[in-house]
Chains A and B, each alone.
Chain A
Amino acid sequence: MNYCQLNAEDLAADDYFKEWVCSPTPETNAFWKSFLSDYPERYYQVEEARQLVAGLEQIEKRPTETVRVDALWNRIEDSLDTYRIIPAERWLTRSIVWKIAASLLLFLGVSWVGQTAFKQTELSLQPFIQPANDWVETLNEASQVMHIQLVDGSRVTLQKGGHLRYKSQFSGTKREVYLTGDAFFEVTKNPNKPFVVYANGLVTKVLGTSFRINAPTGAPTVTVDVKSGRVSVYPNQSGQAQDPESKGLVLTPNQQAVFHRDEAKLDKSLIENPDVLLSEKEAERFVFDDASAASVFRALEKTYGITVIFDEEVMQDCTITMSLDRESLFQKLDVICRVLDAEYKLIDAQIVIYSKGCSGSRNKPIHPSQ
């Protein structure tokens, strides 16, 4: 392409030119820089074209409508859910339960009419009001994940091969379910009735939150990953004087518990790729200009809900100049530690930084974006 003869609108319409303006790379930067030094008289055309392309991208941008995107997704999911429940389960949970409930109601109605007619008030109706409460067993034999809505509104996403056993009504003081396999739980909040999952010897207890349990049949470990809220996990040991929960762990978002079944041992760690826990609005930008190490670690703690342990005194001269917006937590830590000539270890779901301190001149600012 002979760019030296093009006017501003030709340039703006050109693919290569647009790519440079919208997402420049070192190569395209170099190309257009050398073009301008060869043809300085084209400066105004290039500048006008650049303003056109950049301006149009701005004009077309709308405020991000995250709320609408989420709401629309819920609508799509709800519509899909109605198709998805497998027929056998639908028959069991809907049909039978409702038939029993309907016949009970009919029976109650008839006996009430009979009762008032004969004024036999001594007859207690209580025993009949108990709703049908059977265990429901669901085995996901399909090739896709299955969505199960429990009676309290909690949702379970059961992976292929997963097996879930629950009551069609949650009576008593707990909402109890039994799991083998891999499932994600979104539990409706109810402080009066904890939700308890029993999975291969590990008990996971929550009030209302979302988390994933992976407990394959026969596997030596069970893992629990927390997405939101607080989760308590403990080995399932009955018949002990001590409260088993006191031997367990409390997990917060981005944390993971691994339960080793043979040793009945619980380890706490972080999930493989921790999520940013702040909303888009609250999230801080990871762009630092001569920032103290302490402030960088505090930003990490806030963003990922983790704890960073470091010696503030030793690291008081350490500063960081860089931008780390796109990197994941562990990538960020790698870069920060490289710049500060430090090391980090993940111990008990906490990040521990090992540093010998900085002598001012040693850490050079780096700019990964260049």
Chain B
Amino acid sequence: MSTPDSSNELWYTFRQGDERAFQTIYRLYAHDLLNYGRKVTNDVALIEDSIHDLFIELWQSRANLSDTDSIKFYLVRSLRNKITRTRSRDPFFQASDVDALTFDVDDIGIENKLIEDEELRHVYEQLRKSYERLTPRQQEALNLRFYQHFSNEEIARIMGVNYQSACRFIYSALKTLREAIRIFSLYLAWISMEQYLH
């Protein structure tokens, strides 16, 4: 869901050396980059360092950059490469770091205010519990798909897997989550029937 027209122009102005365009690009995508970074590593300092380096390099090499259809795609993919490269250089990095990705329940956002409907809130709560049991790669793919709104093709390129694998991550995750919702919906139906009978 990128808007290629305006973003093309912004990218062009930035490459001409316009600092306002540069800052606009940062402001537009910093939140998404910080958000996505958490899918790749739990190390917040590493995420911020990588975003810092990414933007410094971006500014310094602006004259040599090529056209891009989607600035966001370019930034997200560069950030992921940067984080994984730094990590692979780090001798203390253990592969288990990825598996240990968990959520701080208070930290993440089901924003209760937004969900006024009590029943819907239960469904989301259930959804979140099942979500946390998904693999890190499934979670990453879902983030790219349903929060960052990338296409499956772009997700495959960002994650460095082939198209079929990207689709499989998403589809298998959706299937697991849907089952969780369905069980819960049945339970809700049963509860209301109980009330009805008594």
Q: Mark A residues whose CB is within 8 Å of B.
A: 8-9, 12-13, 15, 18-19, 22-23, 48-49, 51-53, 55-65, 68-69, 72-73, 75-76, 79-80, 83, 143-145, 157
Contacts and interface: CB of A to CB of B under 8 A. Distances in A.
Contacts of A51: 120, 123-124, 127, 181
Nearest to B131: A59
7 contacts: A18-B149, A51-B181, A60-B146, A61-B111, A69-B27, A72-B30, A73-B23
B127 A55 contact: yes
Given A19-B1, A145-B19, A60 B147 contact: yes
B105 to A, nearest CB: 12
B135 to A, nearest CB: 15
A52 B178 contact: yes
A58 B123 contact: no
Contacts of A56: 127, 131, 142, 145-147, 177
A183 B2 CA distance: 33
Contacts of B181: 48, 51-52, 55
A328 B142 CA distance: 34
Nearest to A75: B52
Contacts of B107: 62-63
A58 B115 contact: yes
Contacts of B30: 69, 72-73
B12 interface: no
Contacts of B34: 62, 65, 68-69
A251 B124 CA distance: 50
A65 B31 contact: yes
A8 to B, nearest CB: 5
- Judged by DSSP, the binding face of A is helix
Contacts, number: 116
Interface stretch (B53-61, B66-74, B79-87, B94-102): B53-61
Given A48-B181, A57-B147, A157-B19, 11 more contacts: A9-B174, A56-B142, A56-B145, A60-B109, A60-B146, A62-B108, A72-B48, A73-B26, A75-B48, A76-B56, A79-B52
A260 B19 CA distance: 30
Interface of B is mostly: helix
Max chain B Cβ within 10 angstroms of own Cβ: one of A22, A56, A57: A56
B152 to A, nearest CB: 8
B193 to A, nearest CB: 17
A361 to B, nearest CB: 33
* Nearest 10 A/B pairs, CB to CB: A60-B147, A56-B146, A9-B174, A144-B17, A61-B109, A55-B127, A69-B30, A55-B124, A76-B55, A9-B175
A13 B38 contact: no
Interface string B170-198: 11001101100110010000000000000
A48 B178 contact: yes
Contacts of A145: 19
Given A79-B56, A83-B60, A144-B19, A58 B178 contact: no
Given A56-B147, A80-B59, A143-B17, A63 B171 contact: no
